[in-house]
Chain A
Amino acid sequence: MTEKHILQLNHVSLTYHTLRGETLALKDISFGIQPGEFISIVGPSGCGKTTILSLIAGLLNKTSGDIYLQNDPITKTNKNVGYMFQRDELFDWLTIEENILLGLTIQKKRTPENKKKAQELIVKYGLDGFQKSYPRELSGGMRQRVALIRTLATNPHLLLLDEPFSALDYQTRLNVQNSMHAIIKSEHKTAILVTHDISEAIAMSDRVLILTKRPATLKKEITISLPQNLTPFERRNHPEFQTYFLKIWEELQDEEENS
């Protein structure tokens, strides 16, 4: 089972230090994720969801435990991991095309072949004609799509999505969720989504991990067995959606009451 996992966390803990003392942020977190799987991490705010992504991205170092990406331990940032943020973080002095090629430029992989692939992504996901535009000329939803294509352009195996929809208005959010879900599935990427939005987690993912409040431990794992061929929006209207919602809601509510 384990060797099938693209990512594996074993008993990972993290303590961080400030002048006022040391805080145990993550405690004994273990989970694995299979290639092509889409998982979400939910939990009380400030519990350390983003911290887990930072560890996987190699931006932070764990205090104890092991993290393996494709059976290699993670020690620093890794080109096989792509990270998406709350805001699109597009560089407003670069054209859309240059923004999308940013990762390739940094990794010195601006080959004609890779540029062609990026161009294909641009066309495939509805941004053709905007290559020479600047980010300020695009809507919020389009900008977030550019950010996703920028992440995909370097061809990472694992995508880390840190609340990428939270800065969008509700209508746009639902649309972008649909298109991002479609893009990630059709590119056969593995993804971890961090969110505080229960509906979003159920609509997007195959499995939801629920964290406790700080120090965060893994409270529960819920597999979402809604039909694979539905879009996130259609999943929201599936009869079983509400059941999952209540299940996760209760788990989180439990955390709130214990505090």
Chain B
Amino acid sequence: MKKKTVKPTYSLAHKKYLTKLRNTRIGISVGRWGVLILFIGLWELCTSIGVLDAFMYSSPSRIISQLKTLFTGGTIWNHMWVTLSETLWAFAISTVLGALLALLLYILPFTRRVLEPYLVILNSLPKIALGPLIIIWMGAGTKAIITMGILICIIVTTISLLNGYLETDVSKITLLKTMGANKWQIMQKLIIPSSLPNFIAVLKINLGMSWVGVIMGEYMVSKAGIGYLINYGSQVFKIDLVMSGIVILCLLSALMYGVVVALEYYVNKKRGYHK
């Protein structure tokens, strides 16, 4: 006799419960797409019947045709690459430097206490205020844009990572000490792995911040890039171009965010979640 796969028999109440859960899940999905479709639809409708001036507010259809022109023209690839590479540089440099700085401040408590007020002040300073100085020191080019991105990210990175290290469970440190661990082993075996989830959270924040820094930098000095395109569009009053730039930015940043989420998934998998 063939073995049948035994389906668990649920009570009516449990079936109802499962259905309810599934319906909620479907409802949320429908709602999410609904918001987007409604927003685009209303926008298109309002501009086509004249409630909104399409010249001032653009419209989904105008954005799509603008995007078509941009992508068939081909120069958009260069703009995208310029912005993306600037962002990646700012992101990478600020993350690495911030992590090293946080590590240094963690192992040197005296220095940490000396520098604490400076970190707080630098953190609250609107970094855009340094823009003119950066341009004078770095020149009006890519270097200035990346520096802007780094400045915006690095203090937050340092402070968040440092707090993550400092939150390490004291008894676990004591445990390693009783095993005879030295400072470096405590760092390597405990502090860094235990603050890994915090590190990924910092990456997510940092990513958003590096976009902010780079676009601000591009507004100030650039000759290419999505920020340049948006700025140029507003100067010649081509709102379609401005909106298209924003759409492209949305997609690029979502793409990069997706990479970090994938990294998070991978890390969690290595640690035995998602079994």
A binds B: yes
Distance to closest chain A CB from B272 (angstroms):
4
Say yes or no for A81: interface residue by CB 8 A criterion.
Answer: yes
The one of A89, A93, A103, A105 in contact with B196, judged by C-beta atoms closer than 8 angstroms, is A93
Say yes or no for B181: interface residue by CB 8 A criterion.
Answer: yes
B175 close to A134 (CB less than 8 A): no
| CA of A55 to CA of B272, assembled, Å | 37
| CA of A78 to CA of B181, assembled, Å | 10
Say yes or no for A102: interface residue by CB 8 A criterion.
Answer: yes
A107 with B175, Cβ < 8 A, contacts A91-B194, A95-B272 known: no
A59 close to B185 (CB less than 8 A): no
Contacts of B180 in A (CB 8 A): 77-79, 106-107
Say yes or no for B235: interface residue by CB 8 A criterion.
Answer: no
Say yes or no for B176: interface residue by CB 8 A criterion.
Answer: yes
B177 close to A89 (CB less than 8 A): no
A85 with B175, Cβ < 8 A, contacts A79-B180, A93-B196, A95-B272 known: yes
A106 with B271, Cβ < 8 A, contacts A77-B178, A89-B169, A154-B179 known: no
A105 close to B178 (CB less than 8 A): no
Contacts of B177 in A (CB 8 A): 59, 77
Contacts of A91 in B (CB 8 A): 172, 190, 193-194
A106 with B189, Cβ < 8 A, contacts A134-B272, A154-B179 known: yes
Contacts of B178 in A (CB 8 A): 57, 59, 77, 81-83
Q: Which of chain A's residues 20-65 have a Cβ closer than 8 Å to chain B?
A: 57, 59
- B168-210 contact mask (Cβ, 8 Å, vs A): 1 or 0: 0101101111111100010001100110100000000000000
Distance to closest chain A CB from B141 (angstroms):
43
Distance to closest chain B CB from A149 (angstroms):
14
B194 close to A87 (CB less than 8 A): no
A106 with B176, Cβ < 8 A, contacts A89-B169, A134-B271, A134-B272 known: yes
| CA of A133 to CA of B272, assembled, Å | 8
| CA of A111 to CA of B172, assembled, Å | 24
Main SS at interface, chain B = helix
Contacts of B169 in A (CB 8 A): 89
Contacts of B171 in A (CB 8 A): 85-87, 89
Q: Name the residue in A93, A95, A105, A107 with the highest tally of chain B Cβ atoms < 10 Å from its Cβ.
A: A93
A103 with B194, Cβ < 8 A, contacts A91-B172, A93-B271 known: no
The one of B172, B185, B196, B272 in contact with A106, judged by C-beta atoms closer than 8 angstroms, is B185
Contacts of B272 in A (CB 8 A): 95, 133-134
| CA of A85 to CA of B176, assembled, Å | 12
Determine the residue in chain B with the shortest Cβ distance to A54: B174
Q: Name the residue in B171, B177, B193, B272 with the highest tally of chain A Cβ atoms < 10 Å from its Cβ.
A: B272
Contacts of B271 in A (CB 8 A): 92-93, 134
Contacts of A133 in B (CB 8 A): 272
Contacts of A102 in B (CB 8 A): 176, 179, 189
B179 close to A107 (CB less than 8 A): yes
Determine the residue in chain B with the shortest Cβ distance to A160: B178
Distance to closest chain A CB from B3 (angstroms):
26
Contacts of A79 in B (CB 8 A): 179-180
Distance to closest chain B CB from A137 (angstroms):
8
- B236-275 contact mask (Cβ, 8 Å, vs A): 1 or 0: 0000000000000000000000000000000000011000
A93 close to B181 (CB less than 8 A): no
Determine the residue in chain B with the shortest Cβ distance to A153: B179
A83 with B175, Cβ < 8 A, contacts A106-B185, A134-B272 known: yes
Contacts of A81 in B (CB 8 A): 178
Determine the residue in chain B with the shortest Cβ distance to A93: B271
Contacts of B181 in A (CB 8 A): 106
B174 close to A59 (CB less than 8 A): yes
Contacts of B194 in A (CB 8 A): 91, 93
Q: Name the residue in B169, B175, B178, B181 with the highest tally of chain A Cβ atoms < 10 Å from its Cβ.
A: B178
| CA of A82 to CA of B174, assembled, Å | 12
Determine the residue in chain A with the shortest Cβ distance to B172: A89
| CA of A154 to CA of B181, assembled, Å | 13
Question: Which positions in A face B, CB cutoff 8 Å?
Answer: 57, 59, 77-79, 81-83, 85-87, 89, 91-93, 95, 102-103, 105-107, 133-134, 154
Question: Which positions in B face A, CB cutoff 8 Å?
Answer: 169, 171-172, 174-181, 185, 189-190, 193-194, 196, 271-272
22 contacts between A and B (CB under 8 A): A57-B178, A77-B177, A77-B178, A77-B179, A78-B180, A79-B180, A83-B174, A87-B171, A89-B169, A89-B172, A89-B175, A91-B172, A91-B190, A91-B193, A91-B194, A102-B179, A102-B189, A105-B189, A106-B176, A106-B181, A133-B272, A154-B179
Known: A106-B180, A106-B189, A134-B272. 15 other contacts (CB 8 A): A59-B174, A59-B178, A77-B178, A79-B179, A85-B175, A86-B171, A92-B271, A93-B196, A93-B271, A102-B189, A103-B179, A105-B189, A106-B179, A106-B185, A107-B180
